Structure 1
């Protein structure tokens, strides 16, 4: 059915693409009017078309729109009280098109106000506006616009973040900035913070936000008082569009081929039609009426009651074999705008996205302690996303209502063979069926209101709902005993359980911000102040259900014969109904938990100018944080945190020349423990071969940050910069191996202290300085060289005087790209290279050294060609062309744990390749 659907979709797209009509319709002129010193929007500026009666005033965002302009070339005059007027010539309007002209205004004294008129051309002013946007950020930032995203092969926001200077991505979704692990980042969407999407770490899964829904993305590497204070690496801000310039409809379809997977045999557990849309139909869920944990652990259930309960569980342990089809990606984006005669505007953007992908990862080498396994993983993934943004602009006011919803279903089957020295069994066959369902909804209602003197008041109310559920994770091992493979169904460990979990989190947030222009030191300055509150409430309910083989007198079956049954029979209703198994729930009272946090904050900051060269953005943020976490174990105290933090910051910019800045920044930030890091819940991770457990004694980390940056802008859209940074941590939070009892588990802990410092280089430059024929060739690179040192004396074992790099920190990050456009921008070629240095995955334990991840060279390429008068575009992309292996290995002061015979796998824990991805897509704009 899906192949027919995809074929019909391609045919429909080609038919629609072949219909193109063009009429000599009026055009529009739009853009943003901003202050030349700080890029603040100028509210109520007037824009007039000389020689006509047409004009407009800017709204709360500083945006103007002139409708119904006959095609031709015009001169525009822009006026605003306290600023020199501007006349911009050569503004060309094309039929049915939108011409964008952003204008920068310069403040002047009252004496010269009526005599100064600055003249320029459309091209000159466009360049000026781009320069101002690049230069006028209050802090040190790096970002990517929607235009750059369109030119890359990136499909999700996590892919986009790979291109940002100093940023790397782990597991294709978690972001590391400046060598700091993902837990030291803060993520926000449309101005309000995003919660963690993961049950076992503090991280936001950026792969759930499709790249083509992003208007722009900014990483702030230095703090300003108006940003949340809980970050040290970067504050990642994602913004989506609201009011479009024109009505539009965009349809796209993409099909991908993976060298490991496509058209090859693909193994899986049972699957339902609804799984293709991200929602399991309930067949994996724990049945209603199933006995509670208390009833099971109390031992009050009779054997017949236990058998009746076990018969309710889904008995389907079949392994299905299919041929993997192409990966698929579809998106429809719809935009509408209504312009009223009064100048008011209403706009809406709605987008629907569907992705389905299959991924086979074969021959995964897995060596740990006394294990030596080979894994084959098969993952079925579906992503269903929707965005619906609505906005109404009237006068100096604007109301927006933004919504994003995303649903991800990952259904993985793992088949493992190999040696387990702990049990003395020479050969094992382990299977794991693991489905994870993740959902995110975020709704944001915002009001922006402008007043006299360009002051502005903004209020925001938002709600986020997070779900992360694992229904019926089933793990079973067969060991070779006396020439026969027998199931470990007489064991009662978490590695053999059926695991069910439900994580639900609600986040309510509100904030208000006010900005007031002032005249200080004979310069225009801005005072900003605001307050915010956020309340989080999380519940987590796990179950570890074990079907434990009965033994002893009174049972009429042969236990050894049952253990020798194949996987698709051993838990069948015919076997279970013979009272073969007892029912156990090995969840502990400390595993489920409920938690809530309440964060209240307020800030004040001044954006001061000192002459024409100096700009100082300074102030402080105060955050009051309360946390309560309770499990169901009455013998353990609840976790309480009650912290008050004062977080000052200062960002100084010195304009060396009109094209160059020198920046210096100081800030104090924090890193709070995430709920999961505090919860004592123990989760057995069969891919790590260990249990991950929280630590209720974690403390908040405090960080002092220093930054220095030199940046020069050779021409519009181009940059050369050099940055240096230094970070001093007290009580940094990290993850490590916990093996004091010779069991390879993992936990969270506070190291004593750490420092992190480095330099970053960034270049984005057209190559026309080599030869004029390369004017359409752009080279860009960003390189980060980083050093960190952590003092970690948890154990008596001393390695390098208890000094090591921070967990997740890479000593270097390299991104290189080359973009080429030709044939009047119809043909676009993009080549991308990425390499991340060797970094710690888990800190060392008492007996085992640290686990590191080896570097990989990653090359991506994309070829795009526009057709049908630029209404349509074909893209051919290749990702991870080299397909180098991912390799995790031990590294320490001893060779005791070196595993593997070949030199390339010395000390290897995990070793695998994910294959090369080739994707062909077509997008059409109607």
Structure 2
């Protein structure tokens, strides 16, 4: 018994310690009142997001949340009929009671429609079941960006290559851009960035890279949800001017000028004019206007003059790259809970396609035309989005939204705005070389790989006119469920005229051409339910997408003279489609499930499983369906294409060290099925006999997997930042659906039989953003010297793996490695910087700006020499084909590197 005495005493001590700790457990207590009447509010739900903890106020409006470990928490107070209020950064100490009172404001809006945050913005949201990143207008102002595309390119899981955005290993057409609730996805190319939106017009940007809800469709890799600014109850505006010409003597100039104007506030006509004649509109009517222009000669050679599609546009094309954006919005809150808004976005881009990709062309600098850029194409791209939206709150639990929109986009590409019949054949004549061989015979060779006379080959004109009606309803029948249901329908008028080398042949339509005008329509229905359990949130959804290719396709299927449609294809089309209102349609069902579960008071585990799909690009369906050319190698559209689908899995963990420091780690895996690719189709035609041709079919697949980490910290009221790291792999059968066409034309030796790395695969990226802001009256001293006030610095540093390429293993025989993109070029690093200093003059805000991109002038590769694995340098060994093949990648192409260092200085005025 004596031997057990020390153990018994030790047990009593431990029990006493535990009891003492329990007795000293912390709690949060408070009283909740009505902001206007000051009366106490019983029945208010007070929760600690990300934990199981919570309480409900009693009849005296008092609540208590017990058994909290020391640390920093957020508190959320919600009651039907009142604005939800979130109090952030509540500090709890061991054994102490923290008093937190709320004063809630009554509202007629549905619960959750209006949220008030008191304190600093939470670093992460604990109830989200997807990977999403929010960027506010305040954060955007601190960044060195000009467009929404620039912002998206900085986010976790995003790769920018050849001016295209790839999200989590997906192709560039797999993302969806939404502006104020409306899609701007181009039905022909599948690209979503057809409307140029300047970053200053954005109120909030949400980038969802995984696990998006059922309300989002026609996307497999990511969603970019843009909310534009609107006018407030007071007037505000500003002018910003930036240029790289102001510091021309210190840094290289690319003749770049950027101007931006904004103005918003109460609409003056109805506020002043109508009351003057005895008329008054109920409620509040506000407006917001934004204008933006960005013109530059770029770092590449320029044409003497550009020739836009309309003569009236010539004044908007003074430089090599010309980007314009205009936005206007009217918001009328007729009374609380009823709001109507009308907005219009318009962008015009005029250039020569150096940094633009088309549906049928990857774009890029036309090095073989660099001696005669005035005879190369001018590209005019226009986009218009008009949106009319009505939001109506029915009661404290339900509201709905109805939207009617028109999205119009067009592209015209021509040499000097000529008709294709006026083109002259491009010729490479000079110099003339006479090369003797060992036997004394002389061989004559014309040209040096650069065109000397004539015009470029392409003439292209395209438009799509898209009308969409969309409605959704959100209701919260009880405290457990939040249900959202919606439907949308889109009608499209789309036309393409594509002429190549019009001087060839006798048809007058050149060596290769295509023409079609089609009227497809598509839409969707969806239902999702957000279920809140004690300690768990489940987000479950189901989406049904439908698509009618249109009468153009139906008639081609019925017509036995359509050469590219086999009898088997006609049967398949009928079997795999349904008929409605005289048209044949296709559909797809996509289930989605997300779960968020707090593991501890400071850890949240979430997972998501979902099916995502999108209809085939118009180019893959309609191309050459009813037009054939004289070209030897052609690729035909296929009406039988099925939707491309992705099955994605994601697991993530969020950890909060304290209110100012968080870490998020997530892993994902994606299977992508039914990718279109070119395949040989053979048939017998009574007119042509046995024929074979290349057609798009659903035969390719791809996979993407990766790990992403983000560490965020607010060091103080002056300094904050984040560190992002991504490791990812993207593999598949091919990087382009045109591989077999390139094989047939002799451009590629063979298509890989198995999976290989995709061209945009970048295994790793490490980046950090630092924001330093010295506010007014900070009174900070360094070595006894008081630092100036109202200035700040932003830094963004990136380190990323290099570009994929196919290495040459035998230079003499021009033998490449087996995998198409089996090698990586050297990694690259760059730093961007922004400095600003603010002043006040006559109640007007002034700011001096300095923005520097690629501060250390890093040479980021765009074209890789497959012998050395880096961009060509003088003296490097080069492939045999680069010596005399104008169709290959010439060694001295100035576009082999990305932008060098750019320094912009400017002035901003705001009121």
Q: How does 1:669-684 map to 2 (within 5 A)?
A: 669-680=612-623
| Contact preservation (8 Å) 2:615, 2:644 | yes
Shift in alpha-carbon separation, 1:260–1:810, aligned structure 2, 3 A: farther
Name the residue aligned to 1:183: 173
How far does residue 347 in structure 1 lie from its aligned partner after superposition? 1.0
2:519 partner SS: strand
Q: How does 1:265-414 map to 2 (within 5 A)?
A: 326-337=255-266, 344-361=283-300, 380-393=320-333, 394-411=335-352
Which of 786, 795, 802 aligns to 2:728? It is 786
Deviations 1:589-642 (A, max 9, x none): 85112233321211111111111x101110211111222466999644579774
Task: Give the TM-score normalised by structure 1.
Answer: 0.65
Q: How does 1:245-644 map to 2 (within 5 A)?
A: 245-257=233-245, 326-337=255-266, 344-361=283-300, 380-393=320-333, 394-411=335-352, 432-472=375-415, 476-480=426-430, 482=432, 499-519=458-478, 523-544=479-500, 546=502, 585-587=508-510, 591-611=514-534, 613-628=535-550, 635-636=562-563, 642-644=585-587
How far does residue 387 in structure 1 lie from its aligned partner after superposition? 0.6
In 1: Cα distance, 2:543 partner to 2:141 partner: 37
Name the residue aligned to 1:312: none
Q: How does 1:95-110 map to 2 (within 5 A)?
A: 104-106=76-78
In 2: Cα distance, 1:729 partner to 1:152 partner: 34
In 2: Cα distance, 1:731 partner to 1:846 partner: 31
In 2: Cα distance, 1:657 partner to 1:256 partner: 52
Name the residue aligned to 2:885: none
2:140 partner SS: helix
Shift in alpha-carbon separation, 1:86–1:359, aligned structure 2, 3 A: farther
Shift in alpha-carbon separation, 1:730–1:140, aligned structure 2, 3 A: same
Name the residue aligned to 1:154: 145
Shift in alpha-carbon separation, 1:712–1:415, aligned structure 2, 3 A: closer
Deviations 1:260-279 (A, max 9, x none): 99999xxxxxxxxxxxxxxx
| Contact preservation (8 Å) 1:103, 1:125 | no
1:914 partner SS: coil
Matched, 1:193 2:122: no
| Contact preservation (8 Å) 1:260, 1:360 | no
| Contact preservation (8 Å) 2:805, 2:864 | no
Gaps of 5+ in 2: 1-32, 40-55, 64-73, 82-98, 105-114, 272-279, 303-317, 355-363, 417-422, 435-443, 578-584, 626-631, 681-693, 777-788, 809-813, 883-888
Matched, 1:866 2:822: no
Matched, 1:850 2:820: yes
2:170 partner SS: coil
Shift in alpha-carbon separation, 1:898–1:403, aligned structure 2, 3 A: closer
| Contact preservation (8 Å) 2:126, 2:596 | no
Task: Give the TM-score normalised by structure 2.
Answer: 0.66
Name the residue aligned to 1:813: 765
In 1: Cα distance, 2:240 partner to 2:850 partner: 13
Q: How does 1:65-104 map to 2 (within 5 A)?
A: 104=76
How far does residue 584 in structure 1 lie from its aligned partner after superposition? 7.2
| Contact preservation (8 Å) 1:649, 1:667 | yes
1:134 partner SS: coil
Which of 738, 752, 762 aligns to 2:710? It is 762
Name the residue aligned to 1:297: none
Matched, 1:833 2:794: no
In 2: Cα distance, 1:434 partner to 1:256 partner: 27
2:645 partner SS: strand
In 1: Cα distance, 2:153 partner to 2:135 partner: 11
| Contact preservation (8 Å) 2:497, 2:515 | yes
| Contact preservation (8 Å) 2:865, 2:872 | no
In 2: Cα distance, 1:590 partner to 1:788 partner: 34
Deviations 1:462-506 (A, max 9, x none): 101101111326773332364699999xx99x9965533221110
In 2: Cα distance, 1:898 partner to 1:255 partner: 29
Which of 764, 780, 803 aligns to 2:755? It is 803
**What is the count of residue pairs matched by the alignment?**
689
In 2: Cα distance, 1:905 partner to 1:86 partner: 78
In 2: Cα distance, 1:899 partner to 1:673 partner: 38
Which of 654, 663, 676 aligns to 1:720? It is 663
In 1: Cα distance, 2:519 partner to 2:445 partner: 45
| Contact preservation (8 Å) 1:262, 1:326 | no
Shift in alpha-carbon separation, 1:259–1:250, aligned structure 2, 3 A: closer
In 1: Cα distance, 2:758 partner to 2:60 partner: 52
How far does residue 357 in structure 1 lie from its aligned partner after superposition? 1.1
In 2: Cα distance, 1:342 partner to 1:497 partner: 57
How far does residue 723 in structure 1 lie from its aligned partner after superposition? 0.5
How far does residue 800 in structure 1 lie from its aligned partner after superposition? 8.0
1:479 partner SS: coil
Matched, 1:165 2:156: yes
1:228 partner SS: coil
Shift in alpha-carbon separation, 1:429–1:506, aligned structure 2, 3 A: closer
In 2: Cα distance, 1:707 partner to 1:132 partner: 21
| Contact preservation (8 Å) 2:266, 2:287 | yes
In 2: Cα distance, 1:749 partner to 1:261 partner: 56
| Contact preservation (8 Å) 1:154, 1:211 | yes
2:523 partner SS: strand
Q: Which moved more, 1:209-218 or 1:775-784?
A: 775-784
Q: Which moved more, 1:694-703 or 1:135-144?
A: 694-703
Gaps of 5+ in 1: 1-44, 52-79, 88-101, 110-116, 265-323, 364-377, 420-426, 549-581, 683-689, 738-745, 769-774
Name the residue aligned to 2:718: 776
| Contact preservation (8 Å) 1:524, 1:609 | yes
Higher strand share: 1
In 2: Cα distance, 1:415 partner to 1:259 partner: 27
| Contact preservation (8 Å) 1:379, 1:412 | no
In 1: Cα distance, 2:140 partner to 2:378 partner: 31
| Contact preservation (8 Å) 2:542, 2:589 | yes
Shift in alpha-carbon separation, 1:721–1:896, aligned structure 2, 3 A: closer
Name the residue aligned to 1:213: 201
In 2: Cα distance, 1:517 partner to 1:710 partner: 28
In 2: Cα distance, 1:900 partner to 1:251 partner: 43
How far does residue 715 in structure 1 lie from its aligned partner after superposition? 5.2
Shift in alpha-carbon separation, 1:328–1:132, aligned structure 2, 3 A: closer
In 1: Cα distance, 2:854 partner to 2:679 partner: 29
Name the residue aligned to 1:879: 853
